């Protein structure tokens, strides 16, 4: 029985970690698929105005973001499916640790790929922005820090 509780506590801890990392994202997806809220704190359609993009920048921004937002939404749906399976297995009458581990690994793999896509996208966006716009975007992203740390202040100090 002790082994069962260890696995259960491990699985619950994992869910908390996954929930913290993806909580904002899941909420945004449920609200009409607005995944970008988790990254920008506003709908992606408002970010160009916030950054004051010119016509050329705006054209490039929209061309880059369409596929990116779609992929984020698609991956988010996949993560949600695995998350639901994980929760159901953890609280089933006879939890199977191999199923729990498989679902945890699937979530981790999807989240890791998603993080890479976000970084690649930000690097692409960086290339079309002025120094002031890059700073504004960095500030916007740092304000989304769930711990409320002062990352933006450190960026300004550089």
Q: Is residue 122 part of a domain?
A: yes
In three-state form (DSSP H/G/I as H, E/B as E, the rest C), the secondary structure along 71-97 is HHHHHHHHHHHHHHHHHHHHCCCCCCH
Q: How confident is the model at residue 158 (pLDDT cuts 50, 70, 90)?
A: very low
CA neighbor of 27 nearest in space, from 89, 105, 82, 80: 80
The verdict on residue 48 lying in a domain is yes
Residue 14 counted as domain residue? yes
Residue 7 lies in a domain: yes
* pLDDT given for residue 150 in this prediction: 44
Average pLDDT over residues 118-146: 88
Please count the structural domains in the chain: 1
- Kindly state whether residue 157 falls inside one of the protein's structural domains: no
User: Whole-angstrom Cα distance, residue 136 to residue 52?
Assistant: 10
What mean pLDDT is predicted for residues 64-79? 88
Residue 69: closest CA among 114, 43, 35, 112: 35
The CATH number assigned to the domain holding 9 equals 1.20.120.1490
**Local structure of residue 31 (DSSP, 8 states):** T
Residue 153 has pLDDT above 50, yes or no: no
* Whole-structure pTM value: 0.62
Q: Which domain holds residue 66?
A: 2-152
Tell me: the pLDDT tens digits for 29-65?
Answer: 554 444 445 555 556 668 888 899 999 999 998 888 8
Is 91 contained in some domain?
yes
């Amino acid at each position: 029985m002790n082994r069962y509780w260890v696995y259960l506590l491990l699985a619950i801890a994992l869910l908390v970690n996954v929930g913290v990392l993806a909580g904002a994202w899941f909420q945004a997806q449920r609200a009409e698929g607005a995944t970008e809220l988790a990254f920008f704190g506003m709908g992606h359609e408002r970010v160009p105005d916030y950054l004051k993009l010119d016509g050329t920048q705006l054209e490039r921004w929209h061309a880059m973001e369409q596929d990116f937002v779609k992929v984020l939404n698609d991956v988010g749906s996949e993560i949600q499916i695995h998350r639901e399976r994980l929760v159901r297995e953890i609280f089933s009458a006879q939890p199977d640790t191999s199923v729990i581990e498989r679902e945890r690994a699937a979530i981790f793999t999807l989240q890791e790929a998603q993080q890479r896509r976000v970084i690649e996208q930000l690097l692409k966006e960086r290339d079309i922005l002025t120094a002031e716009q890059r700073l504004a975007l960095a500030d916007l992203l740092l304000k989304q820090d769930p711990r409320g740390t002062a990352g933006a202040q450190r960026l300004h100090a550089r």
